[in-house]
A and B are shown apart, each in its own frame.
Chain A
């Protein structure tokens, strides 16, 4: 009886401690949101208090200067198309590589795996030079680049998942007269749905937040993504924190919305992608 009581007390202390930690984790969000509603003068006087007068002016101006809807559209387009390309071509390749037992197939797979360790900086400079020559320094080009960079991890994840799908399925379909394309698209691809969700989420988070590659490839006013715009916007307003913070809150909102919509899938995906 005593032991149970003691354990209960411990449990509540643990819970209380966890909630305090959670508050600490949330405090940066509180701080930027609160200060984004203040005037420049009020922010300067006190960064900890709630705003005395809520002003939406910061948001109005940040929205305009970030070209928010346009940047959002660029980010959405690049992310959606790139992720779609990765899901389609990585799953196709992984299926063939998993089902074909040959030296060349094995070699290609090992090559994909080995490149997971290549840091971006190692290929950055020649990549920009080569893609300049190939006319890839544009929106279409960056999607192609994401396909190239996303290949390794995505093929690896699909390959692992495909091992659990019995080969007999393929064979039965072949006997029934299906072509390779029919087998893949009608039978295999629908079975890959769980891993496709994982691959899509991992690549979405990476591409959405990516800064360095777009800064080198599509650094022109009419193709700026959210991270690029944020960078320029912030550089312009470091002395006007109220405005800069309103901008930061704006660009975080889509991420938070995505998180609350797909939370379960996101946490699961991120855990299974941790081998990288």
Chain B
């Protein structure tokens, strides 16, 4: 018995140790710090109760970035999933052309968010402006110079990066639909739209759940793309939550406040994930 126990720890121990030092301990210490006056410099910290949480809720920049993050998340949720589902319907059938197209749609996903942001910064500020000038289109000019175009720019960037990824999830689900089911409906006289609405969509519902929550949490936690596309500017109008936490900590050295914001952030992200688990356990249709 004892020997068996020992080998259990030989196998589980190393990664558990790394996990405890890197994730668990910082998480617990972080929750503690959020109730203190920690500023990153003094080694002695004092408990200050809920002061940091109250300041976080009073901090207008935090509220503003929450609103921007929420707007961005909802917009990208709808747009990314609509594009991805559309793409998956176009390239589900197994053929050389479909495979080739999937490869292309998926490609941007592998490039790091930081680099993607730089690429699109060029496209929005230089290429859009130049096309706008040639064709005399006003709204193509001055992109990323205000909060509105900054928001749309970020959504377009994410659509380019994530649609192909979500498409793969939808395709996997579409290919699991028994073809007899669709054929039977066709014989019964259902047209293409009716077949999609009444057979395909209910059966790919689990894929919708996964993709919707994946976009939700990915968009909500976005940092790299935000940093390289606009760096939160102009005048913090495109600053998302993750960046607000970063800046509170490293530009203003308010570590306790930043950590309180981080705990609030954790609670929101955690809530999103719990709701996801609830939904994916609930509404699955048997094929």
- Spell out A's residues near B (CB within 8 Å): 14-15, 17-19, 21-22, 25-26, 28, 31-32, 35, 46-48, 89-90, 92-93, 95-97, 100, 105, 108, 111-112, 115-127, 129-130, 134, 144-145, 147-149, 151-152, 155, 180, 184, 205, 208-212, 227, 230-231, 234, 241, 244-245, 248, 251-252, 255-256, 258-259, 263, 266-267, 270-271, 274-276
Interfacial chain A residues near B245, Cβ < 8 Å: 121, 124
The residue of chain B having its C-beta at the shortest distance from the C-beta of A134 within the complex is B21
Interfacial chain A residues near B8, Cβ < 8 Å: 96, 100, 105
Contact with A along B220-235 (1 / 0, CB 8 A): 0101100110000000
* Beyond A17-B90, A89-B18, 9 extra complex contacts between A and B, CB < 8 Å: A18-B90, A26-B104, A47-B130, A122-B266, A125-B255, A144-B18, A211-B113, A255-B111, A256-B107
Interfacial chain B residues near A134, Cβ < 8 Å: 21
A18 contacts B266, CB within 8 Å? no
Q: Say yes or no: is B246 at the interface (Cβ < 8 Å to chain A).
A: yes
B262 contacts A121, CB within 8 Å? yes
A125 contacts B112, CB within 8 Å? no
B122 contacts A230, CB within 8 Å? no
15 example contacts (A-B, Cβ-Cβ < 8 A) are as follows A25-B108, A28-B120, A47-B126, A47-B127, A90-B15, A121-B241, A125-B30, A155-B15, A234-B228, A251-B115, A252-B111, A259-B110, A267-B168, A270-B168, A274-B165
Q: Say yes or no: is B48 at the interface (Cβ < 8 Å to chain A).
A: no
B242 contacts A121, CB within 8 Å? yes
A55 to B278, CA, bound (A): 57
A248 to B15, CA, bound (A): 35
The B contact surface, by secondary structure, is: helix
The residue of chain B having its C-beta at the shortest distance from the C-beta of A143 within the complex is B18
Tell me how many residue pairs across A and B have CB atoms closer than 8 Å. Answer: 227
A112 contacts B105, CB within 8 Å? no
B16 contacts A108, CB within 8 Å? yes
User: Distance (Å) between the CB of A271 and the closest chain B CB?
Assistant: 5
A180 to B11, CA, bound (A): 9
Residues of chain B from 108 to 144 with CB closer than 8 A to chain A in the complex: 108-115, 118-120, 122-123, 126-127, 130-131
- Spell out B's residues near A (CB within 8 Å): 7-8, 10-12, 14-16, 18-27, 29-30, 33, 40, 87, 90-91, 97, 101-115, 118-120, 122-123, 126-127, 130-131, 160, 164-165, 168-169, 172, 210-211, 214, 217, 221, 223-224, 227-228, 241-242, 245-246, 249, 255, 258-259, 262-263, 265-266, 269-270, 273
User: Distance (Å) between the CB of A198 and the closest chain B CB?
Assistant: 13
Interfacial chain B residues near A184, Cβ < 8 Å: 11
Q: Knowing A15-B97, A248-B119 are in contact, say whether A122-B262 is a contact too (CB < 8 A).
A: yes
Interfacial chain B residues near A22, Cβ < 8 Å: 101, 104-105
